[in-house]
Amino acid sequence: MTTKISLIGKPEVGKTTIKKVILEGEDPSKLIIFPLEATIGIQYSVHDFMDLKISLLDTPGQSLPLLLEDEEKQIMTFGDTNAIIYIFDYPTWIENSQDIIDDIKKIYEIKKKIEVDAKIILFLHKIDLLINKKIGHMLALIRRQVVKQLNLPEELPVYFTSLHPNLIYTVYNAISDIFGNFSKDTSNLKEIIKKIMNGSSKITCVVSNQKGNLIIQVSTPDFDVSTLYYLYEVIYQFNKSTEEIHSKSKFINAGSKILYMLGDDISKFNSNFKNIIFFSEILDENELQKLLSNVKENLNQIYN
Ligand SMILES: Nc1nc2c(ncn2[C@@H]2O[C@H](COP(=O)(O)OP(=O)(O)OP(=O)(O)O)[C@@H](O)[C@H]2O)c(=O)[nH]1
Ligand SMILES: [Mg+2]
């Protein structure tokens, strides 16, 4: 079965660059120095991701106003999609947030009108342009503004993304979180981790695949998400290095906090998985070891 995803948004917000980096393996630093041409006409492409086939529609920003008015175009772009990702960037949000809110509201109405059962997901992209030390808190504030200004009957998920090398995991995380909703392997593992972490406190768990992409992230409700932006870099370095992660534990610096980290390789259970890493604010190694062996036992029951 194919999962259909549409990328939409105003011109130059970064839709095509995200597609090229995440799904076609292009080098993000190159694409920032030598930007792509504006997209003309809707671009279709098909990609493999875990156990999924993803059919992706990259739409031109220039024709967004037309798309938001023309029903025939809407059916072509949104008909039978599983997820509509609306990308907007930080500079435009600061300049004219109302304009972005209007776009999103229109998309929400279109989805209702043409009766497509797609999720609408928001990316606030280029967060590397936020020159603020308290980036986690700033983003939480923007998320509240978006939700409040939209004032919709349901809360749309907002991801904060950037292709800057230190933040690139934000995009991997967002994309794989979205795709993961449609993947059996990912949802199985996510359920196991959620069940096992239930009752723990101040812990987050991430899993990457063989390509180094983040495929799952589960946090306890009390985990300080403003540390995630620092953790993504740690995870990135780990997945990139040839060093074995096997049962390695250490302290790491996550902005204002020191966290405890424990990782392991779980590819022997399913080749779609690679590293699992737990981070704890409470610095309790025994608890993390227990969670890890629990996850492995569960995987053993399913896959061996
Ligand atoms: N600072 C920064 N720039 C980015 C980032 N991602 C993309 N860009 C830049 O944003 C510009 C536009 O990128 P595109 O991917 O072509 O934008 P698009 O949304 O596909 O534009 P259209 O095809 O016209 O709709 C390029 O100059 C990219 O280098 C990011 O995370 N941070
Ligand atoms: Mg484009």
Q: Count other Cβ atoms within 10 Å, centred on residue 208.
A: 25
Q: Which residues line ligand 1 (CB under 6 A)?
A: 9, 11-17, 31-32, 35-36, 38-39, 60-62, 125-126, 128-129, 162-164
CA–CA distance, 237 with 245 (Å, rounded to integer): 11
Q: Identify which ligand lies nearest to the alpha carbon of 60.
A: 1
> What sign results for the dihedral spanned by CA atoms 65, 71, 74, 76?
negative
Tell me the HSE value of 199 on the side-chain side, using a 13 A CA sphere.
Answer: 5
- Tokens for 151? 């004032």
Q: How far is CA 186 from CA 24, 97, 159, 182, 269, in A?
A: 21, 35, 19, 8, 13
Best of 10, 32, 164 to mutate for ligand 1, by most ligand atoms within 8 A of CB? 32
CATH number of 2-180: 3.40.50.300
What is the model's pLDDT at position 6?
96
* Nearest ligand 1 atom, CA 19: 15
Report the separation in Å between the CA atom of 291 and the middle of ligand 2, taken as the mean of its atom positions.
43
Report the separation in Å between the CA atom of 9 and the middle of ligand 1, taken as the mean of its atom positions.
11
Residue with CA at minimum distance from ligand 1 atom 1: 126
- Tokens for 165? 């090398």
Q: Where are the alpha helices (DSSP H) in 181-284?
A: 184-197, 228-240
What is the model's pLDDT at position 246?
65
3-state secondary structure of 3: strand
Which single residue is written with the structure tokens 């610096």? 253
Report the separation in Å between the CA atom of 62 and the middle of ligand 1, taken as the mean of its atom positions.
13
> How does DSSP classify residue 243?
S
What is the model's pLDDT at position 247?
58
Residue 47: strand pairing partners: 54
Instruction: Give domain 184-303's CATH number out of 3.40.605.10, 3.40.50.300, 3.30.450.190, 3.30.1490.20.
Output: 3.30.450.190
What is the model's pLDDT at position 242?
66
Closest CA to 59 of 46, 71, 45, 69: 45
Maximum Cα–Cα distance across the chain: 59
Domain residue ranges in the chain: 2-180, 184-303
Contact between 214 and 206 under an 8 Å Cβ cutoff? The reply is: yes
CA–CA distance, 262 with 246 (Å, rounded to integer): 9
What is the model's pLDDT at position 152?
95
> How many residues are listed for the chain in this entry?
304
- Tokens for 161? 């993304």
Report the separation in Å between the CA atom of 12 and the middle of ligand 1, taken as the mean of its atom positions.
5
> How does DSSP classify residue 100?
H
Burial class, 19, CB count within 10 angstroms (exposed 0-12 / middle 13-18 / buried 19+) = buried
What is the model's pLDDT at position 278?
94
* Nearest ligand 1 atom, CA 17: 15
- Tokens for 125? 């992209």
Tell me the HSE value of 84 on the side-chain side, using a 13 A CA sphere.
Answer: 27
* Nearest ligand 1 atom, CA 39: 23
Q: Identify which ligand lies nearest to the alpha carbon of 18.
A: 1
Per-residue pLDDT tens, the chain, 304 aa: give them.
Answer: 789 999 999 999 999 999 998 888 788 888 878 888 999 999 999 988 778 899 999 999 999 999 999 999 999 899 889 999 999 999 999 999 999 999 999 999 999 999 888 999 999 999 989 876 677 778 888 999 999 999 999 999 999 999 987 788 788 888 878 888 888 888 889 999 999 999 999 999 999 888 777 888 888 989 887 787 778 778 877 777 766 666 567 888 887 789 999 999 999 999 989 999 999 998 788 889 999 999 999 999 988 7
CA–CA distance, 169 with 173 (Å, rounded to integer): 6
Best of 29, 30, 33, 36 to mutate for ligand 1, by most ligand atoms within 8 A of CB? 36
Report the separation in Å between the CA atom of 13 and the middle of ligand 1, taken as the mean of its atom positions.
5
What is the model's pLDDT at position 160?
92
Closest CA to 266 of 249, 238, 247, 241: 247
